[in-house]
């Protein structure tokens, strides 16, 4: 197991380097001048040149990339052009809000998706299976930003039960005043993972129940509870992989959902950085989110190997 973990860690290094290169190049090849956000309309060429030199935009791209990676390794992601604050501070606050929202949305999506998937798999081709499949397809197909707006209209405007925007007064705290702000965006974000997990678990359970070893277990007189445990063990590796990918997408934040609900997370921060052409903030946010995804995939691989020894042998 230790050798497998070390092997995965070594393979992560080129992935992280490739992610850094892609993040840097994608931001720089987009059209537009990043200094437009801070330069006045009547700015002189001398002032523009001074600012370009101060932010390092006057240097060749390879030099800029090398300096950016070197500073990032030391915890310096640069300074936001629009706000003048450290990018790391901006991203840290946004990541905390996104992680809080993503964990709650993942709990809703994974628990409901796993439950629906097992029900549909055990009662395949019955009315429960058809009802669950319809819900799952609707969850995957429905535009989540549209669902968010519908939830705001119903529960905020018409009923007045929940707030429509924001994350609550001041910084985040685990109390009802802040928790109620998270309900609508978390429910909206959980719909797509719920549908994907439901369909995945349904297919896995339905396939396992038709396997010969399940028939042999029933022939030996094992109770349905014991058989259920065996089904869960055989379903877990694939289900965990799917859930890990979905959690990565949730941690990456949803620009549309966080914009609809004005949730101060990474998606909302990315949206602001894109419209303000804030290159340091855009690069830093994308890099942190990409690293989250890489680390999460590594953890999923390790957990899969711990659950299913066949993965280590392969």
**pLDDT tens figures, 137-192:** 888 888 888 888 898 898 888 888 888 887 777 666 677 777 888 888 888 888 88
**pLDDT tens sequence across 217-262:** 777 777 777 777 777 777 877 787 788 778 777 776 577 788 888 8
Same domain, 189 and 51: no
- Within-domain flag for 184: yes
Quickly state the pLDDT bin for 60 (edges 50, 70, 90): confident
Give the DSSP per-residue string, the chain. -HHHHHHHHHHHHHHHHHHHHHHHHHHHSSSS-GGGGTS-TT--HHHHHHHHHHTTTTS-HHHHHHHHHHHHHTT---B-TTT-SBHHHHHHHHHHHHHHHHHHHHHHHHHHHHHHHHHHHHTTTSHHHHHHHHHHHHHHHS-HHHHHHHHIIIIIIIS--S-SSSS-SSS--SSHHHHHHHHHHHHHHHHHHHHHHHHHHHHHHHHHHTSHHHHHHHHTT--HHHHHHHHHHHHHHHHHHHHHHHHHHHHT--HHHHHHTT--SHHHHHHHHHHHT-HHHHHHHHHHHHHHHHHHHHHHHHHHHHH-HHHHH-
Quickly state the pLDDT bin for 92 (edges 50, 70, 90): confident
- Within-domain flag for 78: no
Per-residue pLDDT at 297:
77
Same domain, 37 and 7: yes
Provide the CATH number for the domain around residue 125: 1.10.3720.10
Quickly state the pLDDT bin for 312 (edges 50, 70, 90): low
Per-residue pLDDT at 167:
75
Per-residue pLDDT at 42:
66
Number of folded domains that form the chain: 2
- Within-domain flag for 160: yes
**pLDDT tens sequence across 198-222:** 888 888 887 877 777 777 777 777 7
**What residue has token string 């840097």?**
24
**Nearest Cα to Cα of residue 167 among 93, 107, 108, 271:** 93
pLDDT at position 31 over 70: no
User: HEC string of 69-121?
Assistant: HHHHHCCCCCECCCCCCEHHHHHHHHHHHHHHHHHHHHHHHHHHHHHHHHHHH
Per-residue pLDDT at 1:
66
Same domain, 248 and 150: yes
Q: Which domain holds residue 161?
A: 90-313
- Within-domain flag for 262: yes
Give the DSSP per-residue string, 225-254. HHHHHHHHHHHHHHHHHHHHHHHHHHHT--
Same domain, 69 and 102: no
Quickly state the pLDDT bin for 88 (edges 50, 70, 90): confident
**pLDDT tens sequence across 137-151:** 888 888 888 888 898
pLDDT at position 54 over 80: no
- On whether the CB atoms of residues 166 and 185 are closer than 8 A, the answer is no
- Within-domain flag for 166: yes
Average pLDDT over residues 65-89: 80
Same domain, 56 and 115: no
Per-residue pLDDT at 35:
63
- On whether the CB atoms of residues 122 and 204 are closer than 8 A, the answer is no
pLDDT at position 306 over 80: no
- Within-domain flag for 84: no
Same domain, 37 and 98: no
Average pLDDT over residues 255-271: 82
Per-residue pLDDT at 80:
79
**Nearest Cα to Cα of residue 239 among 108, 142, 117:** 117
Between 22 and 56, the higher pLDDT residue: 22
- On whether the CB atoms of residues 292 and 251 are closer than 8 A, the answer is yes
Per-residue pLDDT at 171:
65
pTM for this entry: 0.75
């Amino acid at each position: 197991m230790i050798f497998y973990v070390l092997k995965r860690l070594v393979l992560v290094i080129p992935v992280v380097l490739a992610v850094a290169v892609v993040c840097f190049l994608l931001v720089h090849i987009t059209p537009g001048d990043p200094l437009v956000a801070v330069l006045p309309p009547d700015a002189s060429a001398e002032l523009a040149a001074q600012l370009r030199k101060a932010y390092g935009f006057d240097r060749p791209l390879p030099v800029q990339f090398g300096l950016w990676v070197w500073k990032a390794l030391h915890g310096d992601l640069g300074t936001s052009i629009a706000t003048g604050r450290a990018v790391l501070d901006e991203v840290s606050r946004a990541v905390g809000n996104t992680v809080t929202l993503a964990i709650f949305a993942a709990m809703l999506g994974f628990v409901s998706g796993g439950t629906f998937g097992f029900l549909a798999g055990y009662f395949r081709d019955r009315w429960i299976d058809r009802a669950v499949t319809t819900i799952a397809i609707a969850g995957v197909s429905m535009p989540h930003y549209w669902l968010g707006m519908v939830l705001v209209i119903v529960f905020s405007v018409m009923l007045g039960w929940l707030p429509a925007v924001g994350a609550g007064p001041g910084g985040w705290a685990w109390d009802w005043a802040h928790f109620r702000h998270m309900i609508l965006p978390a429910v909206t974000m959980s719909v797509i993972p719920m549908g994907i997990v439901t369909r995945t678990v349904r297919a896995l359970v339905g396939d396992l129940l038709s396997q010969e070893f399940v028939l042999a277990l029933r022939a030996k007189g094992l109770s349905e509870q014991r058989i259920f445990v065996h089904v869960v063990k055989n379903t877990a590796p694939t289900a965990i992989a799917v859930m890990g990918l979905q959690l990565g997408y949730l941690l990456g934040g949803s620009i549309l959902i966080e914009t609809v609900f004005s949730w101060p997370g990474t998606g909302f921060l990315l949206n602001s950085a894109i419209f303000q052409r804030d290159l340091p903030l855009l690069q830093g946010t994308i890099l942190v989110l990409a690293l989250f995804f890489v680390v999460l995939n590594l953890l999923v691989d390790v957990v899969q190997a711990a659950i299913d020894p066949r993965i280590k042998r392969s």
